[in-house]
């Protein structure tokens, strides 16, 4: 995920700026703005970034994603969706197992924006392989909320105790209690509720994160 490109597209959306208009206002040529916004340039010169961050009244670290982009305090436009933007920490599959212990003092290396309504404990996770095709192909970004109760047909992030492995299962309605259905065709094991730990409910899935721009 290119956080720089994502943040720049977010800023242009918030301020209702096209690539050409932003280029005109900051004094950077439009092709350069285009390459940054599309993720084609991942390490632009500091002299290129300086007028951009000055215009938006943010820091270079915030634009690059090393610090949280202050969406709520930005003064651009009157986008009614702005109040719903959240910057979630992007964590690893191993960290999901201990997230309840890590979340309070966690300093993420990466974040991404979502409009999903989630709890303060929600986090992002990227699918690393093709185990869950076609629903969640490799590279998909997932929004996980540990504080949401499973519902029929929801997808769950599950730790299988016997395998010490994190997997994704679909929650199905049963006569007495929910059943689990594996999304991994190579893992036919369907654990009972006692044999697993539900780490969270998948609230949102994005193949590639886009922020609209005009």
pLDDT tens digits for range 157-205: 999 988 888 999 999 987 778 889 988 877 766 778 888 999 999 998 8
Residue given tokens 């006569």 in the structure block: 175
- What is the DSSP pairing of strand 123-126 with strand 86-91? parallel
Look at the chain and report how many structural domains it folds into. Answer: 2
Alpha helix positions (H), 68-113: 93-97, 99-102
Q: Report d(CA 107, CA 85) in Å as an integer.
A: 19
State pTM to two decimals. Answer: 0.62
DSSP 8-state code for residue 42:
S
Enumerate residue ranges in the chain where pLDDT < 70. Answer: 1, 71-85, 113, 115, 188-189, 207-214
**pLDDT computed for residue 163 by the predictor:** 83
**pLDDT computed for residue 202 by the predictor:** 97
Residue given tokens 């977010």 in the structure block: 10
Which structure tokens are listed for 107? 């300093």
Q: Kindly provide the residue ranges of all beta strands, DSSP E only, lying in the chain, ordered along the sequence.
A: 86-91, 111-114, 123-126, 141-145, 155-160, 165-172, 179-182, 196-206
Residues 109 and 171 in one domain: yes
Question: Closest Cα partner for 156 from 202, 118, 122?
Answer: 202
**pLDDT computed for residue 93 by the predictor:** 96
Measured from the Cβ of residue 125, the count of other Cβ atoms closer than 10 Å reads 27
Residue given tokens 């590279």 in the structure block: 139
Assigned domain for 194 exists: yes
179 pairs with which residues across the strands?
A: 172
Residues 30 and 47 in one domain: yes
Assigned domain for 202 exists: yes
Query: In this structure, what CATH number is given to the domain that contains residue 140?
Result: 2.10.109.10
Assigned domain for 126 exists: yes
Residues 191 and 94 in one domain: yes
**pLDDT computed for residue 1 by the predictor:** 55
Q: Single out the residue in 36, 67, 84 at which a domain terminates.
A: 84
8 A C-beta contact, residue 150 and residue 174: no
Q: Single out the residue in 45, 61, 84 at which a domain terminates.
A: 84
φ and ψ at 9, to 5 degrees? -65, -40
DSSP 8-state code for residue 188:
-
Residue given tokens 């004094």 in the structure block: 27
Residues 50 and 107 in one domain: no
**pLDDT computed for residue 68 by the predictor:** 80
């Amino acid at each position: 995920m290119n956080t720089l490109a994502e943040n720049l597209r977010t800023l242009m959306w918030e301020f209702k700026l096209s690539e050409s208009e932003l280029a005109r206002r900051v004094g950077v040529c439009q092709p350069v703005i285009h390459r940054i916004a599309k993720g084609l340039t991942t390490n632009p010169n500091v002299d290129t970034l300086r007028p951009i961050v000055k215009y938006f009244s943010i820091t270079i670290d915030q634009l690059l994603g090393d610090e949280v982009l202050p969406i709520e305090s930005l003064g651009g436009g009157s986008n009614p969706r702005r109040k719903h933007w959240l910057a979630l920490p992007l964590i690893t599959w191993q960290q999901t197992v201990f997230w309840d212990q890590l979340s309070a003092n966690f300093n993420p290396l990466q974040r991404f924006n979502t409009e999903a309504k989630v709890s303060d404990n929600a986090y992002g996770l990227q699918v690393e392989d093709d185990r869950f095709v076609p629903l969640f192909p490799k590279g998909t970004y997932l929004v996980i909320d540990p504080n949401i109760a499973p519902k029929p047909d929801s997808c769950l992030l599950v730790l299988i105790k016997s395998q010490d492995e994190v997997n994704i299962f679909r929650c199905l309605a049963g006569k007495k209690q929910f059943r689990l259905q594996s999304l991994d065709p190579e893992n036919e094991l369907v654990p009972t509720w006692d044999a697993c730990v539900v780490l969270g409910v998948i609230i949102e899935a994005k193949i590639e994160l886009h922020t609209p721009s005009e």
